[in-house]
Amino acid sequence: MTDRIAIVPFHSAFSVFRFALLFRIARLSRLSRMSRLTRLFRMTRLVGLIGKMSRHIKMFFNTNGFAYMIYASGTILLIGATVYSIAEGVNFIDSLWWAFVTSTTVGYDDISPESVVGRLTAMVLMLTGIGLFGALTSTITSFFMVSNDEEGEEYKEEIKELNDKISQLLMKIENMGRNA
């Protein structure tokens, strides 16, 4: 856009065109600033949403000690992959894939253990995976039940406060009726 200004002759007869181009550039500049501000406002809303979500996610992982179950399952997964890699002579990436697939009980049959140690490791991983999914289900249920109970407690307290205020107002009205 600024290149267009450069090609407009600097004769006084062309000053109108230069002014029009400068006005257009200024208007475009304002529009770009407004679009940047709009993006900034969107980002602030996103940051706020992430803040709210992070609080809920922390609460979720703290429900029923689910975070510890995740850590334990991840550790067992890595140990199982290491044991399988050593016992079967498979590279670690393939054994990590096998451990993950086995723990999720999907079992693609692309890699399967042939040694006793590998099969025992598979059984431990299967039980761990089933336990993790069971813990996930119970954590989701507990999380929503606790959230609803907490909201109910807040409403009960608000209702109690409102009842107290209504009682006080009724007493004032009765006292005003007696005095009149």
Closest Cα to residue 81, out of 64, 62, 103, 61? 103
CATH number of the domain residue 119 falls in: 1.10.287.70
Largest separation between any pair of C-alpha atoms in the chain: 98
pLDDT single digits (tens) 1-28: 445 545 545 555 555 555 555 555 555 5
Q: Give the pLDDT score at 42.
A: 67
Q: Give the pLDDT score at 79.
A: 94
**What letter represents residue 92's amino acid?**
F
Residue 121 predicted with pLDDT over 70: yes
DSSP 90: -
Q: Give the pLDDT score at 76.
A: 93
Which position has the higher pLDDT, 35 or 97? 97
Q: Give the pLDDT score at 35.
A: 63
CA distance 145 to 165: 30
Which position has the higher pLDDT, 37 or 87? 87
**Secondary structure of residue 115 in the 3-state scheme:** coil
pLDDT single digits (tens) 83-107: 999 998 899 998 999 899 888 878 7
**What letter represents residue 4's amino acid?**
R
Residue 156 phi, psi (nearest 5): -60, -40
Number of H helices, E strands in the chain: 5, 0
Residue 124 predicted with pLDDT over 60: yes
What is the sign, positive or negative, of the torsion defined by CA atoms of 172, 173, 175, 176? positive
Instruction: State the pLDDT confidence band at 75, using cuts at 50, 70 and 90.
Output: very high
Average pLDDT of the chain to the nearest whole number? 77
- Residue ranges making up the domain that contains 59: 2-179
CA distance 84 to 105: 16
CA distance 91 to 81: 10
What's the structural domain count of the chain?
A: 1
User: Which residues contact residue 100 at a Cβ distance below 8 angstroms, ignoring those fewer than 6 apart?
Assistant: 77, 81
CA distance 13 to 19: 11
